[in-house]
Amino acid sequence: MGLWADTAGLLFPNTCAGCGQILLMGEKVICLACKHNLPYTNFHKDADNPVAKTFRGRVKVEAATSYLYFRQLGITQRLLHGLKYKGNKEVGVCLGNWMGKALQESEIYNSIDIIVPVPLYKKRENKRGYNQCHMLAQGLSEATNKKVSTTNLLRVQNNQSQTKLERWTRWTNVQEIFKVEQVHEIENKHILLIDDVVTTGATLEACASLLVPFCKVSIATLAIARDF
Ligand SMILES: [Zn+2]
């Protein structure tokens, strides 16, 4: 925790990442009022939730959920903006931690062995300085005592056809984008894939389809960006 807390303290001195108010004693990163008002989905309590349905017939996952609803100009968008574009890593760790605690209310997520954040392109990660999904995974790990692995699922670095790769749609192209390494570490385990936002589910489907030959896969994202 130390490193994240120190870094966040320097850049965001004692203000809430959700509303900008001064944090009170005992509050960290996000104030209690914002925590109370977050648009929780509670999807993890419903096996038949909209995220799980998104992957049905596309790739076999044990369970899938999103923690928060994402709406334009809503608090989830503000928090994600801080995490992705303002260098506020601590927001990711904090929300990952809360999400981890929530997931423990559900039997299926208690059988997770390893947490795997969806990898970014190295270029993008270097520009930001970190992978925001890794920050979420870090917080989840603190809440659940499950380890995070960033060495099993990797992005293929291929700058020549970047545009084409960004716009892939079919699973036949998956191996041009992601690859699985160190299979022995994940074999027969239950992997929890972590992403920041799910929209169409294409990226997560790609990652999951590469992993399922070796292990069980579940999915958790911080937010779901769709209207219901
Ligand atoms: Zn607040």
In a domain, 25, yes or no: no
Q: If you measure from the C-alpha of residue 88 to the centroid of ligand 1, how many angstroms do you get, rounded to a whole number?
A: 15
In a domain, 10, yes or no: no
Structural domain count of the chain: 1
In terms of pTM, does the model score above 0.85? yes
Q: What is the pLDDT of residues 23-38, one digit of tens each?
A: 999 999 999 999 999 9
Tell me how far apart the alpha carbons of residues 180 and 145 are, in angstroms, rounded to a whole number.
23
Can you say whether the dihedral through the CA atoms of 127, 118, 205, 82 is positive or negative? negative
In a domain, 24, yes or no: no
In a domain, 20, yes or no: no
State in Å, rounded, how far the first CA of the chain is from the last one: 36
Q: Give pLDDT, residue 166.
A: 52
Q: If you measure from the C-alpha of residue 38 to the centroid of ligand 1, how many angstroms do you get, rounded to a whole number?
A: 10
Q: Give pLDDT, residue 228.
A: 47
Find tokens 């079919």 and name the residue: 170
Q: If you measure from the C-alpha of residue 59 to the centroid of ligand 1, how many angstroms do you get, rounded to a whole number?
A: 38
In a domain, 30, yes or no: no
Residue 208: CATH number of its domain: 3.40.50
| DSSP code at position 156 | -
In a domain, 166, yes or no: yes
Q: If you measure from the C-alpha of residue 187 to the centroid of ligand 1, how many angstroms do you get, rounded to a whole number?
A: 42
Q: Give pLDDT, residue 1.
A: 44
* Segments of the chain scoring below 70 in pLDDT: 1-13, 158-173, 227-228
Q: Give pLDDT, residue 208.
A: 95
Q: Between vectors from CA 204 to CA 221 and to CA 61, what angle results, nearest 5°?
A: 85
* Residue 193, SS3 per DSSP: strand
Domain hosting 89: range is: 40-224
In a domain, 22, yes or no: no
Query: Which residues line ion ligand 1, judged by CB < 5 Å?
Result: 16, 18-19, 31, 34
Bridge partners (DSSP) of residue 105 are none
Q: If you measure from the C-alpha of residue 32 to the centroid of ligand 1, how many angstroms do you get, rounded to a whole number?
A: 7
Q: If you measure from the C-alpha of residue 22 to the centroid of ligand 1, how many angstroms do you get, rounded to a whole number?
A: 8
In a domain, 8, yes or no: no
